[in-house]
Amino acid sequence: MNGPLWVVVPAHQEEARLPATLKALAAQHDRDFTLLVVDNASADRTGAVAREFARTAPFPVEVIEEPEKGVGSAVDTGFRYAIGRGAALLARTDADCLPRPGWAGAARAALTDRPGLVCGRITARRDEHGPLGRAGFAVLVRLAALFGRLRPGHARRHGFRAPYRMHAGNNMAITAELYLAVGGMPRRPSPTDRLFLNAVRRHTDRITPCRAMVVENSTRRLRAYGITGTARWYLDQGSGDQGTDPR
């Protein structure tokens, strides 16, 4: 499938981290896309940072606001805005993540080869933790993927047309046609990424893992919650007594 590619970045209170994400996007080998930053009820300079970047960016940049706080709301608003302006292909990362230089090209190639949903690979940012922290993050990702596959509610007998695959919302790509067909990203409740994946699984078997589509993920939740608290979060148990999700 060919057509315009838009990259959507939801951002809440990311004045400090957003510049690194924007720099990583500007360093993509494939820069034939439009970037959309969705300022999600930020009280800091998140929106201003994105608009300043737009002046010299190597691709078109648009910035919109979503006053309803929540990543599901920001993503859905952003994707629908992009589709309304002609996007055929959509990719998403988050404002505290670093897509590696081949990320956008890998997303486009995967969607062209097999239109549907593409799930990329996440690894820990190298500037936030040492080797031990990065190894701990990798273990948690593997455990979350295993839990998802073994979870009874994810079994194929429940009407799913594809097996469960680990789906990181901060590293995904999808065709506009499929996004609309499944009703879009749930705006509520959390975890919206898992709900969205299961909506896609009920609709199609065209879910493709793409190891070449790599995003370095923030580990600040690991620092804030510790191993046990982070595992609790990834297993859909919420933040417990840890307070608001630091991401």
* DSSP string for residues in the chain: --S-EEEEEEESS-TTTHHHHHHHHHT-S---SEEEEEE-S-SSSHHHHHHHHHTT-SS-EEEEE--S-SHHHHHHHHHHHHHHTT-SEEEE--TT-EE-TTHHHHHHHHHHHS-SEEEEEEEE-TTTS-HHHHHHHHHHHHHHHHHHHH-GGGSGGGT-SS------TTSEEEEHHHHHHTT-S--SSS-HHHHHHHHHHHH-S-EEEEEEEEEEEP-HHHHHHHHHHHHHHHTT---GGG-S---
Evaluate whether residue 90 is within a structural domain: yes
> Domain residues for 23?
5-240
Q: What is the domain-level CATH number for residue 203?
A: 3.90.550.10
Range scoring the smallest mean pLDDT among 41-45, 164-168, 170-174: 164-168
Evaluate whether residue 35 is within a structural domain: yes
Evaluate whether residue 130 is within a structural domain: yes
Amino acid 132: pLDDT: 80
Range scoring the smallest mean pLDDT among 85-99, 133-147, 155-169, 195-209: 133-147
Amino acid 246: pLDDT: 40
Average pLDDT, integer, range 28-47: 98
Evaluate whether residue 246 is within a structural domain: no
| Total number of domains in the chain | 1
> pLDDT tens digits for 186-226?
998 777 888 999 999 999 999 999 999 999 998 876 666 66
Q: Can you give the pTM of this predicted structure?
A: 0.88
